[in-house]
Structure 1
Amino acid sequence: MTGTKKGCDRGECGACTVLIDGRRVLSCLTLAVGAQGAEVTTIEGLAPDGELHPLQHAFWETDAFQCGFCTAGQVMSAVGCINEGHASTDTEIKEWMSGNICRCAAYPQIVSAVSAAAAAMRPGADDERTDR
């Protein structure tokens, strides 16, 4: 798998973020034995049937990636952020995503993507959508 990136190797950049049992963790600071028996989800696991996860789609729609190096970690952290209930406002998203660094400074687009995906993933969101 090539999605999870090795960034700083010190837990400072967030490029290596994965989900372990649905909780976001920095893989560079996680011993493999600590994940034994747990469900580990990487960026590749978000779209098992080839259809983009709502967050991947939102990143694409809002152009929330530039060079792409941080994208996998940003997306995985954003999934965790939304699942943890920390995506109600732009300020909250910025705070809870602050451990993920983007060298290209696509932060406004990243916040927009997380906000859009949070709305799309909200229970009943399909009922709120109208045909286009």
Structure 2
Amino acid sequence: MKVNVNINTKKVELPKDVFDAFERFKRTGRKYQTEDELNIVLMNVVFIGHYGDLAILKQFAMKNPTAYIHAIANGYTLKNPDINEEVFELLDNWLSKSYVVDEKTDIRMFAEKLTNFYKQKLLKTS
């Protein structure tokens, strides 16, 4: 039976880990299941999502049930990362490692990495 669906088709913006989990699950599942069968699995993720990508999706679905259902029904896109979070990640990664050369040289290397990061951001916005 063909059903006409007329719903709001605004895509949901998802964090990278959730976006990637959806993509991997669908890519793997398409080999063996129809889209409807995959959607049934996704709708039951809170009961069966114990490992891997389904566990990531379950965690998101438990915290954001409406957004999760909208993502299944309307599609999803990758949320633009918060620049503060990106800089935090760069700094956190750098601080968690021991020096490659010495303190002063490593600070210069980090400054160069940070400068390149901002150059890329500026190029994307212009």
TM-score greater than 0.5 by the shorter chain: no
Higher helix share: 2
TM-score, length basis structure 2: 0.30
Larger Rg: 2
- Structure with greater contact order relative to length (CA < 8 Å, sep ≥ 6): 2
